[in-house]
Structure 1
């Protein structure tokens, strides 16, 4: 039985030539993005900007510590023990005073550090690192004695320098 709609192809013609090509859908556009992608992009940029701002703020606030560490390296080259002790004591006092003036600018009240001397200064240095003091009693006694005397016993410079580096890294005026 013949169907009326059947098309007769000429003899010798390939029936596959009569097929039409596959029609592909149009390409997906890359823009405009969905609102969720825009929110994610804005959030990512905001977080990166906040991270950079916090990092710069931290670097600005701790610049005095880096400067003190550099100055500690120059003090290390001083040959006389009394001059070494005097310069190291002055550096520690300047760092403590700077930290106090910065915290005073933020409204934190603390005892004046510039007037501390002797036992009070030793107590401040010992207590200003919280639960883990940076200095030992022996090294603090030797530092203070050497800073204020013409003749002093030999100092353990390596220990004093290491403890001073640790104190500069960890000190906080609000511990006292």
Structure 2
């Protein structure tokens, strides 16, 4: 009764052998990206370029501060108090003139009490120098007989002034 038909015996005993293998879909392509990914890429590159430009501009604008701080380390080797005071005064004046490059005559002409007031007021509300140290610096720079300087304290205060002075206060 159940005899195989001639067409079944020619094809094979198992009808599942006639089925094809499972075909996987093609892999998802990396390109073209969706517009959102392109926008994110443009935003990321733009932010990176802007950050680099701002960093470069900051480094360029503050190069004089780094140079002045390096020059402060060379001032430590000076043994004479009068020469040390003159060199420190010149360094501070050069930094002030550079920060106020649009109106150098207002800083270059200051001396004595006006120069001390400028140094005290050019850091805003928190002055880097204190009055006794500035008096000792002025006395050592311009008087033949002056009391000994506290060089380390003056160097610390000068470094702080170089770091904190702002040209818009000047």
Q: TM-score range by the shorter chain?
A: 0.7 to 0.9
Q: What residue is the counterpart of 2:109 in the other structure?
A: 115
Q: What secondary structure does 2:146 align onto?
A: coil
How far did 1:15 drift? 5.8
Q: What residue is the counterpart of 1:88 in the other structure?
A: 88
Q: C-alpha separation between the residues in 2 aligned to 1:44 and 1:174?
A: 33
Q: What secondary structure does 2:125 align onto?
A: coil
- Number of equivalent positions: 164
Residues 80-159 of structure 1: matches in 2 within 5 Å? 80-101=80-101, 104=102, 112-159=106-153
1:27 aligns with 2:27: yes
Q: What secondary structure does 1:66 align onto?
A: helix
Unaligned runs of 5+ in 1: none
Q: What is the TM-score with the length of structure 2 in the denominator?
A: 0.88
How far did 1:133 drift? 0.5
How far did 1:46 drift? 0.9
1:54 aligns with 2:48: no
Q: What is the TM-score with the length of structure 1 in the denominator?
A: 0.85
Give deviations 1:14-55, integer Å, cap 9, x for gaps.
Answer: 565444311211111111111111111111111111111111
Unaligned runs of 5+ in 2: none
List 4+ stretches of structure 1 deviating above 4 A. Answer: 7-10, 12-16
Whether the aligned pair in 1 keeps the contact of 2:97 and 2:104 (CA below 8 Å) is no
Structure with the bigger percentage of helix: 2
Q: What residue is the counterpart of 2:167 in the other structure?
A: 173
Q: What secondary structure does 2:107 align onto?
A: coil
Q: C-alpha separation between the residues in 2 aligned to 1:92 and 1:130?
A: 16
